[in-house]
Chains A and B, each alone.
Chain A
Amino acid sequence: MLELLWLVPALPLASFAVLALFGRRMPDRAMAALGAGSIGASAAVSMLVAAAFLSNPPGGNAYTQVLWTWMSASGFEPQIVLRLDPLSLVMMLVVTFVSFLIHVYSTEFMAGDDGYSRFFAYMNLFVASMVTLVLAGDLLLLLLGWEGVGLCSYLLIGFWYRDPANGAAGQKAFIVTRVGDTAFLVALFILFTNLRTLDIQEVMRRALAEWPVGSGLAVASAALLLGGAVGKSAQLPLQTWLPDAMAGPTPTSALIHAATMVAAGVYLIARTHRLFILAPPVMTAVAVIGAATLLLAGFSALTQHDIKRVLAYSTISQIGYMFLALGVGAWASAIFHFMTHAFFKALLFMAAGVVINALHHEHNMFRMGGLRRRLPIAFWTFTIGGASLAGLPLITAGFYSKDRIIWDAWVSEGGGAGLWLAAILGVFLTSLYIFRAVFLVFFGEARTEIEKRPGAAIIVPLAVLSVLSIAGAWVPGFFSFLTPALPPFIEYHTGALTETISAVTAAGAFLFGLYLAYFFFHRRRDYAAAIAAAPLGRALHNWWFAGWGFDWLYGRVFVRPVEGMARVNRKDVFDPIYNGMAALAALCWKLLSGTQTGLLRRYAAGIAAGVIVLVAIALFL
C-alpha cells in the first residue's frame, strides 16, 4: 500500500493538466466531478497509505520513495523523493482531507462563475504543490512545492482579474512572500555549499555532526529558513499580504490562507527542527515573533469591518501561536494546533462564505445582522468554528491544542512569564474579536435580504468540519505517534504555575472576552461606538484597523522610493549606451554597403589589388 504514495500528489496534478488543457470544452458537472473527485481520490489514497503506515510501520518509522533523479551535475544530485514519516503523514492527511471538503464546497459555491474550470485547475495545482511540499524528502523538491503554492496563491487571489484591486492584492502576496522565498533560497545555498547535500535527513544528520550548537553557519541558515517561513506564514514583519489576500474567492481563502498554505512555514520549521535546535538565538526569535504577531494581529482583528479580514487576522494570530510553540521547542504542539486550526478555520471561512453569498456579496459586518434565525446553518457552524478558534473550554478542539501551547510557553526552557502572558492575552483577544463578529453578524436586527440559501454540497462539508472542530483534538496517541519525527517536549521549570491553573486562566480569558463581546457588541452597542469615537479610541482604532501601519510604513520605505526612482529614471540612463551601439553599427553599414556595387569588374580589381598588396608584403617585409 505504501507504494501508492506517489499518487497523492500525482492525482491532483493530472487533474490540473486535464482541466487546464480541456477545461473550456467540458460541461460544468464534469469539471466539478474531476476537480473535486481527484482531490477526493488523493485523500482516499493518503488514508490508505496512512492505514498501511500505522498498521505496519516501516523501519525507522519512515518510508522513502525515490521516484527519479532530478538532475545530476558534479556532485549535485537532487532527487524526486517522497518521504513519509509521522510528521508528513499528519500534514498530508489534513491537507488532502480539508482540501477535499473545500473542493466539494466550491462545486456549489463557484457554480455559474465564468472561470469554473480555471478555478478548479488552480485549486488542484495548489493541492498538488502543497502535497509535494509536505512529502518532499529533498529541500529542492520542497522548494518546488513551496514556489508552486506561492504561484497558485497569486493566481487565486487575483482570480477575479477584471477588478484591478484583486490583481494588485495577488501581486502584493507574491512580492511580499518572495522576500521570504529569497531568504529560503539563500539558506539552501548555505546548506549545500557547506554540507554538500540537500536531502533533508542527510542535511540534518551532517549539520548535527559538523556544526556545534550556536555556530555561525547554523544560526545563519536557521535564520534564513525562518525568513522563508515568516514570508509564507504571514508573520511579522511580512504579514501584510494576508489580509489583502482575501480578495480571492472564499473557498480560496479557506484553502490557501487559512487551512494549508500558511502552515507551510510552520511545517518547514518543524521539518528542519534540528537546525533550529543548533541555533538557540533563532529559536528565541521564532517564539518572540510568534508572540508579537499573535498580539498585533489580535488587536487588528478587533477593528475590522470586513468579516473575511477578521478571519484573515485571526489566521495570522493563530499561526503566531504555532510559531510560539515552535520557538519554545514544542514541535508536536505546533503541529497539533495546525491540525485543529485547519479544521476550524476552514469551517469559519466556509460559513462566512455562505453569509457573504447569501447577502449579495456583502462583506461589511456592520451591514449584516439578525442572521441567526434566517441562516441557521451558517450561524451554528460559524459559532462552532468561532468557539473552537477562541478555545471554548473542555468541549472544543481549539481549546486543547491552544492550551497545550500556552502551557508549553510557560514551562519550556526558552519560555516564561512573558510568552505565557502574551498567549493568555491572545486568548482574550481572540474570544473578543470572534464573538464580536458572531454578535454583529448573527444577532441584532436584520438589515439585508437573504439572496440564496446553501445546498447540500455546502452543508455537508460544513457539518463534517463542525464535528472535527469539536472532536478533532481527540486523536489517541497523537503526540507519541509524532515522537519519532519530532523530539519530545522537555518540561524545564514549572515555577508557581500548574497546568490546571494555566488552563483555568486561559478559560477565564476566554470567558472574559466572550462577556465583553456580548456586552459591547450585543447588549450596549452604543458603548463600543462611544469608545471608538473618543479621541484616543479613534486613534487606536485607525491604527489597528490599518494593521499597525505596516502597509503605510512599507509604502513609505520601499514602494515610494522605487516609484520615485522610476519617475526620475523614466529615460533609462543606460539606454544611450545601447542606442549609441546601434547607431555605430548603422554608420558602419552605410560605409561598407557603398563598396557592394554589384559590378563584377570592381570585385575582380579588388581581388587583384589585394593580391598585389599581399605579394608586396610577402616580398618586402
Chain B
Amino acid sequence: MLFALGLIGLLVRRNIIFILLSIEIMLNAAGLAFIVAGARWAQPDGQVMFMFILAMAAAEVSVGLALVLGLQRLYKTLDTDAASEMKG
C-alpha cells in the first residue's frame, strides 16, 4: 500500500523534490516489508536488509539532491518535464 502510494506520487508529481520524496517512500515501504517478513518468520535477515536499504537511501538522497541543484541551475525550475531535450 505504502509502495503503491510512493509509485503513484512518482508518476503524477512533476516537481523533482516530490519525486525524490516518493522514492523515499517506496524505499521505506520495501524496508518495512523486510522488517515485517523478518518478524513473521523470526529471522534476522530482514533487519540486516533494512540496514542496507537505509545506507543506500542516504547515498541516493545525496545524488538526488545534487541532481536537484543541477536542474535548478540549468533550467531555473524544478519541473522535470522541462528537461526533455533527449526527445527522440
Contacts and interface: CB of A to CB of B under 8 A. Distances in A.
Interface of A: 592-601, 604-605, 608
The 3 closest A-B pairs by CB, nearest first: A596-B88, A598-B84, A593-B88
A594 B87 CA distance: 8
B55 interface: no
Nearest to B16: A600
A593 B12 CA distance: 23
Given A605-B11, A608-B7, A608-B11, A600 B83 contact: yes
15 contacts: A593-B88, A595-B88, A596-B87, A597-B87, A597-B88, A598-B84, A598-B86, A599-B81, A600-B80, A600-B81, A601-B14, A601-B80, A604-B10, A604-B11, A608-B7
Contacts of A599: 80-81, 84
A266 to B, nearest CB: 69
Contacts, number: 36
B16 to A, nearest CB: 8
B7 A601 contact: no
A178 B81 CA distance: 66
Contacts of B88: 592-598
Contacts of B87: 596-598
A613 to B, nearest CB: 15
Nearest to B13: A601
Contacts of B83: 598, 600
Contacts of A608: 7, 11
Given A601-B12, A601-B80, 11 more contacts: A596-B86, A597-B87, A597-B88, A598-B83, A598-B84, A598-B88, A600-B80, A600-B83, A601-B10, A605-B11, A608-B11
Contacts of A605: 11
A597 B14 contact: no
Nearest to A590: B88
B10 A597 contact: no
Contacts of B19: 600-601
Interface in B1-52: 7, 10-12, 14, 19
Contacts of B14: 601
A609 to B, nearest CB: 10
A599 B14 CA distance: 10
Nearest to A597: B87
Contacts of A593: 88
Contacts of A601: 10-12, 14, 19, 80-81
Contact of B84 (A592, A597, A604): A597
Contacts of B84: 597-600
A604 B20 CA distance: 12
* Most chain A CB within a 10 A radius of its CB, from B10, B14, B88: B88
A598 B85 CA distance: 6
Contacts of B81: 599-601
Nearest to B88: A596
